Amino acid sequence: MSTDVDTSSESPSDTTPPTLPPASVKALPWWTRGDTNAFFGLGFNILVNVLTLTVLMTGVVKLPGDDVFGTVLPALGIALILGNLYYTLLARRLAKRENRTDVTALPYGPSVPHMFIVVFVVMLPVYLATNDPTAAWQAGLAWAFMIGVIVMIGAFVGPYIRKLTPRAAMLGTLAGISITFISMRPAAQMWEVAWIGLPVLAIILIGFFTNVKLPGNIPVGLAALLIGTAIGWIGGYMSAPDVSAAVRDIAIGLPDLRLDMLFSGLGDLAPLLGTAIPLGIYNFTEAMSNVESAAAAGDDYNLRSVLLADGAGAVVGAAFGSPFPPAVYIGHPGWKDAGGRIGYSLASGSVIGLFCFLGLFGVLATILPIPAIVPILLYIGLLIGAQAFQAVPKLHAVAVVAALLPNLAQWASGLVDNALAAAGTTADKVGSEALGNAGVVYDGLKTLGEGAVLTGLVLGTIVTFILDKKLVYAAIAAAVGAVLSFIGLIHGESVAWAANPTVALGYVLFAIVCAAYALLPSAKTPPEVVQDEVA
């Protein structure tokens, strides 16, 4: 990790935190050489996500392009600019308070899981029932607004939950999200067009994980994009006529308040609460894990400040017409390791926001090959997955794996659902027995994966306490799991009374076993492994 303003000349393994002389604190730089690397990486990350949500709105919800490019994207753009500006100022405040030059701003952009959830779970059912994309859009705005409100409420309880939750549980849950939902799709997209994706991946892995520099200190992210794009065009993967057609469709859009649509959507809020409540909790628990990940990398941000900003971003975006809640991204350690400091996040958000206002996403989609962009996401997945094991005591590695499992289950059951939907059927129609005969334990995957973020925190916490021989605490954590299961926040399709009583009973019996073991004499001796020994 770089220890100087000029990150090009330092070894990635040097972790000595640099400090500024007291008289130089006011001269804290807004931009470093490493920010250029991180800017291209994060910028392309956000770019892929915005391209994806654009296709979802036009292709799934059938919202007219004028509304998408004229309202939805400008609304998202204003949220991105304001949010990244806030996190830049937050980073500068942390750097001045701790008198350091190596502080890295938190990355910020549209939440990837929520993009698919708001489209397929909230807006698509309304569209299919009414055949009215505007009504679906209004429902999405109301849902995003509620997500923001719940996250802001969570800002006042999140810091206490963070204090009680072991790091292994939080980082393990984050690694589960990163490996499945951040890494696997990009990996598949790369191997579909491996002759573009793999050379780009090689540039990124060597450039970010080693101290090998490109000639002239060319930024790794820029070099990867340029070479991947050149390979794509030379190899005939891209089409010049598509670019010409996209250029003709460019339209400038400026954000304007859509409170009438928001209030209209809020008028029928009850059906949305079943997903808004658990996903709002998901948002603040994921943000909590991201803040813990940043702390493990050396930058300890105030969780309440982060959650309030995330919630406000969703509310502001919904008021201007965007149903896509922005959030702190997974990946802070990756951008820090790439040399990113304070300026990269604001630059990424501002450029993408400008693209949103200018309606350039259609053009960019025809110029830049997706296989040349997505390897950066795989890099983030690798780094976050590794951090989960490197930043906890060796003893807790088992807890990290336990926290991974629910997100793996949610990802796998989602693939099954999508495959069956593509075939014109559902898991209910096929039947659990037929799926089981094919080797797919669908019901178990579905149950384990519901509320995956919270479930990962619960399982990781239970296993951590067991490993530390804190069996009474493990029993309490299992009891919490029983309550959450009973009301459907974990292991349930929706929030409801007695949502999954059999799983709740399982957690109760688990708690009883832990409490009984706590009474045994050998449970009083400390663990054999030194607790502060980190891999």
What's the pTM value of the predicted model, to 2 decimals? Answer: 0.69
Would the pLDDT of 9 be above 60? no
Q: What's the whole-number mean pLDDT along residues 34-54?
A: 84
* Residue 8 pLDDT class (50, 70, 90 cuts): very low
Concatenated DSSP letters of 471-513: HHHHHHHHHHHHHHHHTTSSSSSS--TTSSHHHHHHHHHHHHH
Range among 57-66, 280-289, 441-450 with highest mean pLDDT value = 441-450
Q: What average pLDDT does this structure show over 17-41? A: 70
Q: What's the rounded Cα separation, in Å, for the pair 512 and 507?
A: 9
The H or E element that residue 167 is part of is helix 167-177
Q: What is the pLDDT of residue 463?
A: 94
**Dist CA 127 CA 368 (whole Å):** 31
Confidence check: pLDDT of 25 > 50? no
pLDDT at 26: 52
Greater confidence (414 vs 81) lies with 81
H-assigned helices in 110-166 = 112-117, 124-130, 133-154, 158-164
The pLDDT of residue 393 is above 50 = yes
462-521 pLDDT per residue, tens: 999 999 999 999 999 999 999 999 988 889 887 788 889 999 999 999 999 999 999 998
User: Given this model, what pLDDT does residue 488 score?
Assistant: 86
Residue 417 has pLDDT above 70, yes or no: yes
Tell me what the mean pLDDT of segment 99-107 comes to: 91
- The length of the chain is 535
DSSP SS3 for 255: coil
Top-confidence residue, 249 or 123? 123
With 50 as the cut, is the pLDDT of residue 307 above it? yes
Please tell me which residue, 56 or 520, carries the higher pLDDT value: 520
Contacts of 373 (CB under 8 A, 6+ apart): 44, 47, 48, 225, 228
For residue 257, the tally of other CB atoms under 10 A from its CB is 12
Rounded to 5°, angle at Cα 218 from 217 and 220: 110
| Cβ 142 vs Cβ 168: under 8 Å | no
What is the dihedral sign for C-alpha 353, 358, 362, 366?
negative
pLDDT of residue 334: 80
Which among 472, 447, 449 has a CA at the least distance from the CA of 462?
472
Question: For residue range 265-297, what is the model confidence (pLDDT) as tens digits?
Answer: 888 766 666 556 666 666 777 777 788 888 888
In sequence order, what DSSP letters do the residues of 32-85 get, joined into one string? -HHHHHHHHHHHHHHHHHHHHHHHHHHHTS---HHHIIIIIHHHHHHHHHHHHH
Greater confidence (406 vs 220) lies with 406
**Rounded to 5 degrees, what are φ and ψ at 103?**
-70, 135
Q: Name the phi and psi angles at 324, rounded to 5.
A: -110, 105
Cβ contact 67:137 at 8 Å = yes
CA atoms within 13 A on the CB side of 415: 13
**Residues 349-377: pLDDT tens digits?**
999 999 889 888 778 878 888 888 888 77
Better-scored residue on pLDDT, 333 or 322: 322
**pLDDT, tens digit, 9 for 90 and up, residues 90-100:** 999 999 999 99
Helices first, then strands: H and E counts in the chain: 27, 2
Segment holding 268, helix H or strand E: none
3-class DSSP assignment, residue 359: coil
Residue 457 CA to residue 463 CA, distance in Å, equals 10
Cβ-contact 107, 349 below 8 angstroms: no
More confident residue, 199 or 221: 199
Q: Give residue-wise pLDDT tens across range 258-272.
A: 888 888 888 876 666
Q: Would you state the structure tokens that stand for residue 40, as one six-digit string?
A: 């291209």
* 3-12, 205-214, 411-420, 489-498, range with the lowest pLDDT: 3-12
For residue 113, the model assigns a pLDDT of 67
The residue behind tokens 């993967």 is 237
Instruction: Compute the distance between CA of residue 347 and CA of residue 80 in angstroms, rounded to an integer.
Output: 10
Token representation of residue 14: 């040097």
- CA distances from residue 311 to 79, 144, 316, 350, 446 in whole angstroms, order as listed: 11, 9, 9, 20, 28
Mean pLDDT of the residues in the chain:
83
